[in-house]
Structure 1
Amino acid sequence: MVPAAGRPARTVVIGFGAAVVLGTALLSLPAASAEGRDTDLVQALFSATSAVCITGLAVVDTEQHWSLFGEMVILGLIQTGGLGIMTLASLLGLLVSRRLGLRMELTAQSETKSLGLGEVRKVITGVIKLSLLFELAITAVLATRLALAYGYSPTEALYSGGFHAVSAWNNAGLSLYNDSMTRFAEDPWICLTVIVAVVAGGLGFPVWFELGRRISGRQRRWSLHTKITLAVTGLLLIAGFTAITAGEWDNRDTLGGMGWPGKLLAGAFAAVMPRSGGLNSVDIGEMNTATLLVQDVLMFIGGGSSGTAGGIKVTTFAVLAFVIVAEIRGEPSVHAMGRRLSAVVQRQALTIVLLSVALVMLTTLTLLLLTPFTLDEVLFESISAVATVGLSTGITPDLPPVAHVLMSVLMFIGRLGPVTLAAALALRDRPRKYELPEERPIVG
């Protein structure tokens, strides 16, 4: 049984904290580093946190610094973090929905505030099956392309394809190549496969579960969560692609040197990765300031709930958008796609967004004080860490050790914060015994 009210969030934090500690210890071993390389404690901590929290920021060159053992440790941490996030977020979401269902339905079945063993098993096995299915399919495509087009041996192709399949599906952003995906910028087989993997992993298990039920005919209507996730994801991808491609079209350091098919492909890749993919096919540090700002916004929003994507999540962003529309129209309640949004959901969305903004601003200010880098670079790095995206303008390895420790804490908070905070807020039950007289301050 899953603990009720308050304890699930604590369990998630402890579990992921233990994974980070174990990963740090393993990466600190001499066997984890390549010959002639040394790994200090801060580098091990940062790398382990980035892998477990499926972020993708790196302080060392993954291709050159780690031995095969070290790469396998990182791969294992990515897989553990990805499966853990999807499973635990889905279980917490199910627990929350049952708890809220109790208040609305008041049926005998809803009296339990915990999850049954069958439900837990169903979620866990579903997440594992879905992840392995996608990862195997992605591995097959990438390995075949690497072997046939780039001369990789079968073993090298399978290993590289498998590593990047796991990284892409889990939105981890880590690559075995020191230039990430830049060498494949105009290869549609590689880039489109990675794009599909990142988008699919970022949708979240609840959406895939519902899609499966819809295809099998067991469900006729889409839930509001799935409608919002699919609609907003599509809109953000289109808007991001248009803005980034147009902004970088003539930039010789990014898209400018490619033919138009390559520009469109690289533009699509750059539009998808800020949702938490973390890989890049062009040099992020050479992008225009306006384009970096677009990516800042996309990174902050992130992907779907109960998936491997980071950020505040597209549903949170959509809820606030619906609130704004209702307020502009002067409507007394907020409606979205044929459903009314409760005041509780609106307050939760507002809380998550404002706390995330505060965390980004505090991080940005701290890094500006600690480093000589510009506001554009530092803001980008801060959002990438808090939203667990993994994209970087290239300044991460040059940050001082104290900043690396700070970024490790941010990645941990950024990955688990929205999940645990949303669950804690929804499961918390403190009814007021009385209401104070109402008064309205001047707003705006």
Structure 2
Amino acid sequence: MARGSLLSRFQHPTQVVVLGFGAAVLLGSLLLALPVATTSGESAGWLAALFTATSAVCVTGLVVVDTAGHWSAFGEVVIAGLIQVGGLGIMTLATVFTVLVSGRIGLRVRILAQAETKTLSMADVRVVVGKVVLFSLACEAAVATVLTARFLLGYGEPFGRALYLGVFHAISSFNNAGFALWPDNLVRFVGDPWICLAIALAVIVGGLGFPVVFELLKTWRQPRRWSMLTRVTVAVTAVLLVAGTLVFLGTEWHNLRTLGALDDPGKFLAAFFTAVMPRTAGFNSLDISQMHPSSWLATDVLMFVGGGSAGTAGGIKVTTFGLLAFVIWAELRGEPQVNVGRRRLSEQAQRQAISLAVISVGLVAVSTYLMLVFTPHNLDRVLFEVVSAFGTAGLSTGITADTGTAGQLLLVLLMFVGRTGPLTLGSALALKQRTRHYELPEQSVIVG
């Protein structure tokens, strides 16, 4: 009876998704707290273990200890596993296991998988989940092959070490995690196009979102057949990548501590790489702490927007950002409906986009205030850290380890909320949906 009562409290799919991610964080924390997980043979402590596990499961990349120097091979494998679990999604993996064991999926499991993969039809969940897993593994294998070859032939690493580095960073990049096995992240490879472009491409593909990727694979030669989701995602992604590259080139071109020390091709490569990473992958080939505050602000905006829906990226998503632009444009033109191409945007989608954006802005504002109270750091660095955690970007100006216990716990909460989504988390906390069976009289108010 008690068991049935407990299960009845968690019937909404989003509740199970949140609980699944929470369970993964807890398990990862326990594993990383083991003495065998560190190079020193001593426990990392509960806070470092919790922070790292949350950052890995939420595919963020923020760290309070040096990944390569602090964690043992066991710890690094645990981190890679948590990144893979977080990237594919707890419910996606659960659905795959159900298929392998029973050969069929029940209605409830289909609903749970739909909530995680954002598929538009429950009937296709089984096929979609299989494609997601196969596509993810194939992309990671391709990137791992390129990176392994480069580390082996270009840097003289032994085959075993080169393969290990290739696989780890392939998983980290495709899942938009940003964990790297060097103290300076990827700064030492700033001029290496093989490594930078392979990782950047993995980040872009992983961050587009699986529905968009699958549609592009089928109809990439026929843009007129693209859905509204694909059109908006591709367009906004392209605009942000180009705009971000130009902004970083303009602001950092003469900065000798970043782009200024590179030749012209190296500057373009580094600027493009830096523009890709705020899609919520925490890799950096430039020293973020040495960038101009104007570049930090531009990065804040890119991290807040994030990547595509139903992918491995975080942020409010480019879809939300793009739809809000269409809503504003329609309002400025006085149009009664919001049209995207030859399709009308539903009122429900408009409300969801506005709600998500407003909730996210509020959460970032409150968290920034609290972080300013908890830490001695200035507003530029604190805002950067908060947006990075919420957008699961993982980029940092170098203050993560110096935010104290309260600050790090706040970042843990932001990473978790940023991965599960403000609306998903809010829905999970609601025990039931309420339906209103009447409408109130309409009345206009003055806005502005």
Q: Cα offset for 1:36?
A: 5.7
Contact 1:368 1:375 in 2 (8 A): yes
Where does residue 309 of structure 1 map in the other structure? 313
Where does residue 92 of structure 1 map in the other structure? 115
Counterparts of 1:138-287 in structure 2 under 5 Å? 138-214=143-219, 221-287=225-291
Structure 1 position 124 matched with structure 2 position 129: yes
Show CA shifts across 1:22-78 (max 9, x none): 000000000000026541100000000000000000000001000000000001000
Contact 1:86 1:307 in 2 (8 A): no
Contact 2:17 2:91 in 1 (8 A): no
Q: Which amino acid aligns with 1:8?
A: P
Q: 2:414 aligns with which of 410, 417, 421?
A: 410
**Cα RMSD (Å) of the superposition?**
2.4
CA–CA distance in 1 between the matches of 2:284 and 2:421? 26
TM-score of the superposed pair, with normalisation by structure 1: 0.90
Contact 1:248 1:254 in 2 (8 A): yes
Secondary structure of 2:445's counterpart equals coil
Show CA shifts across 1:322-375 (max 9, x none): 010001111111111111111111111011011111111111001100111010
Structure 1 position 443 matched with structure 2 position 447: yes
CA–CA distance in 2 between the matches of 1:90 and 1:209? 17
TM-score of the superposed pair, with normalisation by structure 2: 0.89
Structure 1 position 359 matched with structure 2 position 354: no
Contact 2:280 2:313 in 1 (8 A): yes
CA–CA distance in 1 between the matches of 2:208 and 2:232? 11
Secondary structure of 1:165's counterpart equals helix
Secondary structure of 1:292's counterpart equals helix
Structure 1 position 28 matched with structure 2 position 26: no
Q: Cα offset for 1:388?
A: 0.5
Contact 1:87 1:123 in 2 (8 A): no
Where does residue 381 of structure 2 map in the other structure? 377
Deviating beyond 6 angstroms after TM superposition, the runs of 4 or more aligned structure 1 residues are: 93-96, 422-425
Contact 2:20 2:91 in 1 (8 A): no
Q: Cα offset for 1:90?
A: 7.1
CA–CA distance in 2 between the matches of 1:251 and 1:168? 27
CA–CA distance in 2 between the matches of 1:195 and 1:95? 24
Structure 1 position 136 matched with structure 2 position 141: yes
Where does residue 102 of structure 1 map in the other structure? none
CA–CA distance in 1 between the matches of 2:57 and 2:23? 10
CA–CA distance in 2 between the matches of 1:412 and 1:151? 39
Q: Mean Cα displacement is larger for which, 50-59 or 220-229? A: 220-229
Percent identity, please. Answer: 54
For the structure 1 residues 136 and 14, does the alpha-carbon distance in structure 2 shift closer, same or farther, using more than 3 Å as the test?
same
For the structure 1 residues 81 and 95, does the alpha-carbon distance in structure 2 shift closer, same or farther, using more than 3 Å as the test?
closer
Q: Cα offset for 1:96?
A: 7.3
Where does residue 400 of structure 2 map in the other structure? 396
Instruction: Give the unaligned 5+ runs of structure 1.
Output: 99-114
| Number of aligned positions between the proteins | 421
Instruction: Give the unaligned 5+ runs of structure 2.
Output: 1-7, 94-111
Q: Cα offset for 1:417?
A: 1.7
